[in-house]
Structure formats: C-alpha cells, structure tokens
C-alpha cells in the first residue's frame, strides 16, 4: 500500500519532496498510474499535485504566458490565451489522448514523461518555451531541449518540481500548424507528428520558419536546414518539397509496432506539404 500525500501549497510540496526523495509526483496520473500498474504497483509514496494552487494557474506576463505545470490539457484548451493565442499548441492538445484524459492530464506531466510521442512537445519546441524548475535551493529555468534528455529522461534534479512552462507570445506567425499521424481517428499515439510556425513577410515569403517533429527520434527533432530551405520563398509545394528532403535526412526514427522507421522518415517530410494547402487558403 502506498502513502498518498496531498500538499496544499508549493512550500509544503517542496518540503515533502526533500523529505521523500523516492516519492512519485502525480499530477493527472495518466502516465504514472498505468505505468506503475504495468510494473506491479505504485511507489511507496505518492505526492499529489492537485491541491497545490501555485501549479495550476495560467498568467500572462510581459510577452510571456506562464502556464502552471499541473494545469490540465482541458484547462489550457478552454483558455483563449492558449485556445486562440497559441494555435499550434491548441491543435496538439485537442488531439491528445481523449477528452477525459485531457481533463486529468497536465502539461507538466506530458513534459516530464519525456516521451518521444508526447504531443505537446513539438509545439512547445517551436514556441521556444522554457521550463521553470523549483527546488529547496531556488528556481531555475531551462530550455525544453536542455530539460528533456531522452526517452523518459529529464534534467529534473532530486527535490525539484516542474513549476511552470513559460511560453513567449509568438509575434507575426500567421501560419501555425500541428498534425499528428496516428493509426486511428482519436486515442492514437503519434506515429509521427509535425509542429510548424511560419512568419511571412508582406509579400507572402517566409521570413522565419520553425519546424519540429515528434516520434521521429529519441527527442523532438528540429531541422535548421529545412527551416533555412524555406526562407525567402513562398511556402509552395516545390519549396516545401525541398525542405522535406532536409527533414527526411534529419529525423532519426525507429521501427516499432506502429510503423517502420522508413515510413516515419517519408511521412515526416510529407507532412510539410500540407502547409501549402494551409497557406493557399
């Protein structure tokens, strides 16, 4: 039988965290519980984040949205600052798992799980989001790339908690897109996914491109060469095809139950072509 702790504030949480280094943090539990079940049970101590108010709010600061790590996917979707303000993230949230899981699961849980298929990760990468970690010693900030080290591995220190995700408000990115390729219409883990943000100049040419792929390597894959290939060009099929070639060279996918590496590689490139339909509308 596990002990379940329900701290009521961040200070209490950090104290517990320091006292119980082996304890598992549980936000929505949608990763922790099934994973523990497969391993034969929950850890001896479980610390619930549900009653820690500091981890739940969404606040806007100077050019920044600060999202509490335990904010649920549903809460984010319902907030116009995400729902309308960050379409690339909102699209990913809208197809993450199922509505009930979105009512439970948190953005912090999605990040800390560090799954190559985590749906919020490619959007957070192109949004250039940072994470805020708190420990007894204080607070530090890391980029997502610094925080996620590999499948299931993060830079979270002992005694630390992921407090918030800091998302700079994107300016001028008129084209934001997320697409997940799954094996069915809902409740599908990403076989490969693409998050894209394009900033276009007055003549419709790409002034800045940010592209990130999920399930295409041990962590989210960025591809500067593909981004560069789009610069100064309209996002036409031929420009996107050129970028796609770079993308296919950059991804490091694996074979698994859902698809082969070769398929993932091909589709990682193909997904870029969808941007042509979007920008022509």
Partner 1 sequence: MPQEFSQIDRRHPRNDALPKALGLERFAADHYPEGLLWAGARRAGIPHARIRTVDVSAAAALPGVVRVLTRADVAGSNLQGIVHKDQPVLAGDKVRHCGDAVALVLAVDRETLARALSLVRLDLEPLPGVFDPAQALKKGAPLVHEGRRGGNVLVRASIRTGRGAAVLRECPVVVRGTFSTPMQAHAFIETENGTARLLPDGTLEMTVSTQAPFRDRFEIAQALGLDPMRIRVVAPYLGGGFGGKDGATVQCLLALAALHAGGRPVKMWWEREESMLAGYKRHAARLTYALGADRDGTLRALSCRIVMDSGAYAHLGGEVMALGMESAGGPYRIPHADIRGLCVYTNNPVAGAFRGFGAAQTAFAAERMMDRLAEKLGMDPLELRLRNALRRGDRNAAGVTMTASTGMAACLEALRAHPAYAAREAWKRAAPPHARRGAGVAAACIGVGYGRGLPDAATARIELTETGTFRIFNAVPDMGQGNASAFALIAAEALGQSPASFELVQPDTACCLPSGSSSAGRTTYTYGNALVRACGALRDRLLVRGAMALLADDTADLTLAPGAVRHVKSGRAVPLALLARMMILEDRTATAEFVMPVTPDATGGKGFVIGFPHLLFAYAAVLALSEVDELTGAVRVRRFVSATDGGRVLNPQGFEQQVAGALIQGMGWALSEDVLTREGRILNPDLSTYLVPTAADAPEVDCLAVDSVEETGPFGMKGIGEVNLNAALPSIGAAVQDACGARLDAAPLTPEKVLGARPRRARRTP
Partner 2 sequence: MTIRFLLNGREVACESAPDRRAVDLLREEFGLTGVKEGCGGGECGACAVLVDGSARLSCLMLAAQLAGRSVVTVEGLGTAEAPHPLQTAFAEHGAVQCGYCAPGMLMAAADLLARDPSPDREAIAGAVSGTLCRCGGYGKIVEAVERAAEAMRPGPVRKALRKKRGGA
Residues forming contacts to ligand FAD in the complex (CB under 6 A) are 24-32, 34, 49, 69-70, 96-97, 101, 104-106, 108-110, 112-113, 118-119, 156, 161-162, 189
Widest CA span in the chain? 64
Nearer to partner 1, 64 or 237 (CB): 237
Q: Considering only residues 1, 39, 40, 171, which one is a binding residue for partner 2 as defined by CB under 8 A?
A: 1
CA 189/CA 103 separation, integer angstroms:
18
Q: According to the binding rule CB under 8 A, does residue 266 interact with partner 1?
A: yes
CA distance linking residue 136 with residue 113, whole number of Å: 22
Q: How far is the CB of 56 from partner 2 (least distance, A)?
A: 13
| Cβ contact 225:250 at 8 Å | yes
Please tell me whether residue 30 binds partner 2 under the rule CB under 8 A.
Answer: yes
Backbone angles phi, psi at 150, to 5 degrees: 170, -175
Among 88, 156, 191, 220, binds partner 1 (CB under 8 A): 191
Q: Should residue 13 be labelled a site residue for partner 2 when binding is judged by CB under 8 A?
A: no
- Select the span of 53-61, 72-80, 84-92, 188-196 touching partner 1 (CB under 8 A): 188-196
Q: Round to the nearest angstrom and report the end-to-end CA distance of the chain.
A: 57
How far is the C-alpha of 67 from the C-alpha of 107, rounded, in Å?
Answer: 8
For partner 1, the closer CB: 49 or 191: 191
Q: How many residues bind partner 2 (CB under 8 A)?
A: 26
CB contact set of 179 (below 8 Å; sequence gap of 6+): 91, 193, 194, 271, 274
| Residue 77 touches partner 2, criterion: CB under 8 A | no
Angle in degrees, 0-180, between the axes of helices 261-280 and 237-250, rounded to the nearest 10: 150
Residues at the contact surface with partner 2, assessed by CB under 8 A = 1-4, 6, 28-30, 33-34, 37, 42, 46, 48, 50, 74, 97-101, 103-104, 185-187
């Amino acid at each position: 039988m596990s002990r379940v702790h329900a701290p009521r504030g961040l200070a209490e949480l950090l104290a517990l965290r320091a006292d119980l280094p082996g304890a598992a943090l549980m936000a929505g539990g949608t990763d922790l519980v099934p994973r523990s079940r497969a391993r034969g049970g929950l850890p001896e101590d479980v610390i619930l984040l549900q009653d820690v108010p500091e981890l739940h709010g969404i606040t806007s600061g100077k050019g920044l949205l600060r999202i509490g790590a335990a904010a649920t996917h549903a809460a984010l979707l319902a907030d116009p600052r995400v729902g309308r303000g960050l379409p690339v993230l909102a699209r990913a949230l809208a197809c993450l798992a199922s509505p009930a899981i979105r009512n439970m699961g948190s953005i912090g849980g999605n990040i800390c799980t560090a799954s190559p298929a985590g749906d919020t990760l490619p959007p957070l990468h192109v949004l250039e989001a940072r994470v805020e970690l708190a420990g007894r010693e204080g607070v530090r900030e890391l980029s997502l790339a610094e925080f996620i080290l590999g499948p299931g591995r993060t830079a979270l220190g002992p005694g630390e908690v992921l407090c918030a995700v800091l998302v700079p408000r994107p300016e001028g990115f008129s084209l934001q897109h997320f697409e997940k390729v799954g094996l069915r219409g809902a409740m599908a883990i990403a076989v490969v996914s693409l998050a894209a943000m394009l900033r276009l100049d007055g003549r419709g040419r790409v002034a800045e491109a940010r592209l990130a792929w999920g399930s295409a390597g041990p962590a989210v894959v960025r591809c500067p060469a593909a981004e560069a290939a789009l610069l100064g060009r309209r996002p036409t099929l031929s420009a996107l095809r050129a970028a796609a070639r770079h993308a296919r060279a950059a991804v490091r996918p694996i074979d698994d139950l859902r698809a082969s590496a070769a398929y993932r590689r091909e589709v990682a490139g193909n997904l870029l072509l969808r941007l042509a339909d979007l920008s022509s509308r």
